[in-house]
Structure 1
Amino acid sequence: MASTQGVNVLRYSALVAGLVYGVYHQSTLTSAAKRAEIEHEYTRKERLIEQAKAEWKKRSEPQETKTQASGLITDFENPKFDLEAFLQAKAAENP
């Protein structure tokens, strides 16, 4: 009878150990999946920010290149700024 009790103790010990390992393993998998989801969301947001920056740059760039393409300096602090040329360009823009 002593051997049957020892076997039962061994069986239940193995069962409890298996349950504890199962809970631990499941929590490890769940936390890894959550971390992967958070990282995926972060990279998606980074990509959207980069796209928005590129779109903004593309939309704001043509105005700057139009004034630079004509050779007109619009910076008042620049020593090469020509007020007469600036005023003539503004007058030509507004009919």
Structure 2
Amino acid sequence: MVNRAFVNVGRWSALAFGLVYGYTHNSSLQKQEDAKKQQLEYERKEQLIEKARLAYAAKQNTTKPVVAESADVDSPDFDFEKFIAQLEAQEKK
């Protein structure tokens, strides 16, 4: 039969191999989980930035009240097209 010492060496070797494999497998799974968490955190931050960008754009695009410019036809700065556009905008309201 096989010497008892060889059996014990085989058992201890299998145990050591199992421990090393378990440790390396666990560390690889942990790295994958950490990478996944970082990716999810990055995507969450991207979504927050996009929401903030949209909110800022909506805030900046609010319609400003049209200030009635003077209708001084004799002024050298008078722009007839702007005057007509302003009148049309007031009619639409």
TM-score category (smaller protein): 0.5 to 0.7
Relative to structure 1, the CA distance from residue 9 to residue 83 in structure 2 (aligned partners, 3 Å threshold; closer, same or farther) is farther
The equivalent of 2:73 in structure 1 is none
Using the TM superposition, give the Cα deviation of residue 2 of structure 1 relative to its aligned residue in structure 2, in angstroms.
5.7
- Alignment of 1:84 with 2:78, yes or no, is yes
Matches of 1:16 and 1:84, distance apart in 2: 92
Superposition pairs for residues 56-67 of structure 1, below 5 Å? 56-63=56-63
The equivalent of 2:55 in structure 1 is 55
Matches of 2:6 and 2:48, distance apart in 1: 63
CA RMSD of aligned residues (A): 2.9
Please tell me the residue identity of whatever aligns with 1:23.
Y
The equivalent of 1:12 in structure 2 is 12
Q: TM-score, normalised by structure 1?
A: 0.66
Secondary structure of the residue aligned to 1:84 is coil
Superposition pairs for residues 22-41 of structure 1, below 5 Å? 22-41=22-41
Number of residue pairs matched by the alignment: 74
Where does structure 1 lack aligned partners over 5 or more consecutive residues?
71-81, 90-95
Secondary structure of the residue aligned to 2:47 is helix
Identity of aligned residues (%): 34
Structure whose alpha-carbon radius of gyration is higher: 2
Bigger helix share: 1
